[in-house]
């Protein structure tokens, strides 16, 4: 691994991913990855998958985690924000994963200018959770674009995902539970049909907050609803499944 002092800049942090001894460069003041991205990276079935595209890759957290899950995957991360794409590239270099991860700065809405149709077996995205005009928009541009549909809405995301996927390829995303019907309806318009679904709760007895979804292109599969994921056994203590992700005993 390269010397991090030569790569990490002022106003950035170098964060330990724990998994695979990898580290990630993030802005001190800006969008920083959360558990949502970790859960999404561990959700899709990678059997037989080689070519993956991560739409809105941000810091590159999902591509990094996927390399640890499977030795066969090659991932292209697409990020529109210049600073975030540049940091993600430096993280790839720091972890010496240049032969497996490529970070491209591009607009997802114009993905046809960057990647060919049908070039991916799996597309992932941890998209903005909030529609434009909903909730409080952060004054930080990175956080605002990552959390609100300022640069990309759900329909545009599904359209780009369908373009990238080969026939019967898969698209996996995480979204607010309240938007489940919205996602399903949007996906169907783009011939993406739900195959696997898992709801996420913070604690037992609480309503679901998030939902993980995996859809298949141009094929209507039978849908599997997986057991719910309860993140915390008690306040401050992750459940065993989350601990296993981080290799805790």
At 131, is the pLDDT very low, low, confident or very high (cuts 50, 70, 90)?
confident
Number of domains in the chain: 1
Side-chain half-sphere exposure of 16, counting CA atoms within 13 A:
3
Residue 99 falls within a domain, yes or no? Answer: yes
The end-to-end CA distance of the chain, in Å, is 26
Question: 249 pLDDT band (50/70/90 cuts)?
Answer: very low
Question: Residue 56's domain is classified under what CATH number?
Answer: 3.40.50.150
At 21 the pLDDT is 84
pLDDT at 70 over 90: yes
What average pLDDT score do residues 211-220 get? Answer: 93
Inside any domain, residue 220: no
Written as six digits, the tokens of 120 are 């991916």
Q: Is residue 239 part of a domain?
A: no
pLDDT at 87: 94
Please compute the mean of the pLDDT values over residues 20-24 and round it to a whole number.
89
Q: Which residue has the tokens 């037989």?
A: 48
Strands 210-217 vs 192-201: parallel, antiparallel or unpaired: antiparallel
How many CA atoms, within 13 angstroms, populate the side-chain half-sphere of residue 151?
A: 19
Residue matched to tokens 């080689």: 50
Task: Tell me: pLDDT of 165 over 70.
Answer: yes
DSSP E strand boundaries for 158-201: 165-176, 192-201
pLDDT at position 7: 83
Q: Is residue 205 part of a domain?
A: no
Higher pLDDT, 31 or 76: 76
The yes-or-no verdict on residue 139 having pLDDT over 80 is no
Of the two residues 151 and 230, the one the predictor is more confident about is: 230
pLDDT, mean of residues 89-110: 96
Q: Tell whether 44 is covered by a domain.
A: yes
What is the domain extent for residue 110? Answer: 4-191
Q: What is the mean pLDDT of residues 92-100?
A: 96
Residue 208, domain member (yes or no): no
pLDDT, average across residues 102-108: 97
Higher pLDDT, 19 or 202: 202
Asked if residue 1 has pLDDT above 60, the reply is no
pLDDT band at 5 (very low <50, low <70, confident <90, very high): low
Residue whose pair of structure tokens reads 């975030």 in the numeric block: 84
C-alpha–C-alpha distance, residues 187 and 218, integer Å: 11
Nearest one of 39, 38, 42, 73 to 59, comparing CA atoms: 38
- What value does the mean pLDDT of the chain take? 91
Q: Is 37 exposed, middle or buried (0-12, 13-18, 19+ CB in 10 A)?
A: buried
In a domain, 39, yes or no: yes
8 lies in a domain? yes
């Amino acid at each position: 691994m390269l010397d991090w002092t030569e790569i990490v800049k002022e106003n950035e942090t170098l964060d330990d991913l724990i998994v695979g001894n990898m580290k990630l460069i993030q802005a001190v003041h800006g969008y920083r990855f959360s558990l949502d991205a970790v859960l999404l990276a561990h959700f899709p079935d990678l059997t037989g998958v080689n070519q993956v595209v991560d739409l809105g890759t941000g810091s590159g957290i999902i591509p990094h985690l996927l390399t640890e899950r499977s030795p066969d995957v090659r991932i292209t991360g697409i990020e529109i924000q210049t600073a975030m794409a540049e940091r993600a590239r430096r993280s790839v270099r720091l972890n010496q994963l240049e032969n497996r991860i490529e970070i491209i700065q591009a607009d997802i809405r114009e993905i046809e200018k960057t990647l060919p149709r049908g070039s991916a077996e799996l597309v992932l995205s941890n998209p903005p959770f909030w529609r434009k005009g909903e909730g409080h928009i952060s004054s930080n541009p990175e956080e605002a674009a990552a959390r609100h549909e300022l640069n990309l809405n759900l329909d545009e995301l599904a359209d780009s995902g369908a373009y990238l996927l080969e026939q019967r390829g898969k698209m996996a995303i995480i979204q607010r539970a309240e938007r489940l019907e919205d996602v399903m309806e949007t996906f169907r318009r783009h011939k993406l049909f739900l195959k696997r679904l898992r709801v996420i709760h913070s604690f037992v007895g609480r309503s679901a907050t998030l939902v993980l979804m995996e859809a298949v292109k141009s094929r209507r599969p039978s849908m599997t609803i997986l057991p719910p994921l309860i993140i915390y056994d008690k306040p401050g203590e992750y459940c065993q499944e989350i601990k296993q992700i981080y290799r805790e005993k």
